[in-house]
Structures are given as C-alpha cells and as structure tokens.
C-alpha cells in the first residue's frame, strides 16, 4: 500500500485542506512554496497516464474548490503532476501539487 493510500486510510496523519467522498487535499510536508498542497484521488491510480478521464474531470472541479478555499484563485497558482521516473514522480499514486502564495517562477521554455 502506498503512502497516499495510507493517508486516505487514516494510518498516517495529514493536515487536510479539503476533502470529499472521492478526493483529498492536504498540506505538503516539505513545501516548495508558501502554499503547497497535494491533491489526490482517494482511489489508487498509479499516475495521470492510467487514470480514467472521468476521474480527471471530477478532480478538475475539486482542484478549483481547493484554490477557492485557499484564496489563491485571484492571485494565481500552479498545478503540477509528475508522471514516471523521468517526469520526477516519487510516489506512485496520482497527485497534483498546487503551488501558490508567491511567484512560483517560470517553466523551461517560458519567456
């Protein structure tokens, strides 16, 4: 069982930001920005590549709700998901990083 499944199951504590029947958002324990929240489906999917499109669709509105709750919709935020080893994925459970609260920099290729 992966670490995020243990968090969903209550075996590992977390600082919940928002939760519903299908998704959980919680503070990252090693934040990369003033606001750094992880957003996961409660069901296990290894990565974005194997997650059914309808789950991603439902997750989209949940991410928007998290941004609203955090008060970062107006100032802006970044969402990131890493896929596989070369994509930097460390936990094999679909998760989005929501970064906000300050300028979070440019991505490669941006001007």
Active site residues: 95
> What does the DSSP assignment read for the chain?
--HHHHHHTTSS---EEEE-SSEEEEE-SS-SSSEEEEEEESS--SSGGGS-HHHHHHHHHHHHHHHHHHT-TTT-EEEE---TTTTT--SSS--EEEEESS---PPTT--
């Amino acid at each position: 069982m992966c670490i995020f499944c243990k968090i969903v199951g209550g075996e590992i504590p977390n600082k919940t930001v928002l939760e519903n029947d299908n998704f959980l958002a919680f503070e990252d324990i090693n934040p990369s920005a003033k606001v750094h929240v992880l957003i996961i489906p409660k069901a296990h999917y290894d990565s974005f590549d194997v997650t059914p499109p309808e789950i991603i669709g439902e997750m989209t509105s949940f991410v928007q709700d998290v941004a609203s709750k955090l008060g970062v919709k107006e100032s802006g935020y970044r969402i990131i998901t890493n896929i596989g080893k070369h994509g930097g994925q460390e936990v094999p459970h679909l998760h989005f990083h929501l970064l906000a609260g300050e300028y979070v920099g440019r991505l490669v290729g941006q001007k």
